[in-house]
Amino acid sequence: SLFTVPNINKLCLAINLFFFFFQYIFVGIVMSLMVCFNQYKYIHISSCIVLFLVVDLESPEETEEEIPVVICAAAGRMGAAVAAISSIYSNTEANVLFYIVGLKTTIPHIRRWIENSKLKEIRFKIVEFNPMVLKGKIRQDASRPELLQPLNFVRFYLPLLIQKHEKVIYLDDDIIVQGDIQELYDTKLAPGHAAAFSDDCDLPSTHEMVRSVGMQNTYMGFLDYRKQAIRDLGISPSTCSFNPGVIVANMTEWKHQRITKQLEKWMQRNVEENLYSSTLGGGVATSPMLIVFHGKYSAINPMWHIRHLGWSPDAHYSEHFLQEAKLLHWNGRYKPWDYPSVHTDLWENWFIPDPSGKFKLIRPDS
């Protein structure tokens, strides 16, 4: 025949299944009854179309899941948070709510930066962190004072920051996201796990990097095994460490296990007994997390946390590998807004200049 009508029954079934999977179960069942058991072709077609329209009009916007993403904006490196946020926003259709955490003195700057750039379209809350909460909990004699930045500890206090969401993402500022953040948000947390992290031994390319720059990727690099308190934990020093720069966390479970209290306890004990390795590979916030979450975390897809880009000015990943990566992290000393640094172009793609002109990229020709 010249004209063919699409097979209505199959079409209706397909539409029903479509809505079923989008949780319009009730409407789906009604449609099935009214449409697919109908004998008459015309009613058949019209009811199918009408119901489709009704359902479409009624589909409530608020069913779209909101993804809370926590990022800190620290003085002197605010451009990092801006690049991270812009990369996330540009690569997703999801409804992201940014929690931008700063100190009292830095908040006006980040607010102006967002409101006077294309980032004004993002949904965000600016939250002030009161560093008084850390009093007596951090040692002042670390070899890298920049790691004592109070904002490094914001991740310990996530449930105090996020009240209306159960699941949250925390990201360090020295990252950019190349994939759709929804994928990271969909990371499954096993029952009883309050968080997911990327393991430091997860990818062969990471092994190469670790070998080439002589990096620690075990607990030995973070904890001082000469101390009895550390040996008493019964954690083998060769256990693979994880990087807490990218976290997917469950606030219900976090509160239930009193994770914040446990982390504070290990901060306090470090002040009293100096328990952490003096080389402090990954920063002072890492060691307490390694202790508290030992054996109790889920895994983040390794491509969602490609690390060590800031470890050495000589460390390089292949272009192909970096293209596949969903999230890049310049952990280490060599930051992409500074010089020297590696794979800087991938970061600078997302950077938005400071409208106030205060934050400047350090480049060899500048």
Ligand X SMILES: *[C@@H]1O[C@H](CO)[C@@H](O)[C@H](O)[C@H]1NC(C)=O
Task: Name the minimum Å distance from CB 153 to ligand X.
Answer: 23
Q: Treating both helix axes as pointing N-terminal to C-terminal, what angle do 8-21 and 41-58 enclose, rounded to 10 degrees?
A: 20
Task: Name the minimum Å distance from CB 266 to ligand X.
Answer: 23
Tokens at residue 17, please? Answer: 């299944």
Please list, residue by residue across 337-357, b when 16 or more beta carbons sit within 10 angstroms of its beta carbon and e when fewer do.
beeebbbbebbeebbbebeee
Judge contact between 111 and 354, C-beta under 8 A. Answer: no
Q: Which is nearer to ligand X, 252 or 349 (CB)?
A: 252
Q: Which is nearer to ligand X, 112 or 296 (CB)?
A: 296
Q: Which is nearer to ligand X, 295 or 364 (CB)?
A: 295
Task: Name the minimum Å distance from CB 259 to ligand X.
Answer: 12
Residue closest to ligand X (Cβ): 250
Rounded Cα–Cα distance for residues 35 and 47 (Å): 6
Which positions touch ligand X (CB under 6 A)? 166-167, 189, 250, 252-253
Q: Which is nearer to ligand X, 64 or 319 (CB)?
A: 64
Residue listed under structure tokens 């172009």: 345
Q: Which is nearer to ligand X, 191 or 357 (CB)?
A: 191
Nearest to residue 342, comparing CAs of 325, 360, 330?
Answer: 330
**Contacts with 363 (C-beta within 8 Å, 6 or more apart), sequence order:** 339
Task: Name the minimum Å distance from CB 212 to ligand X.
Answer: 37
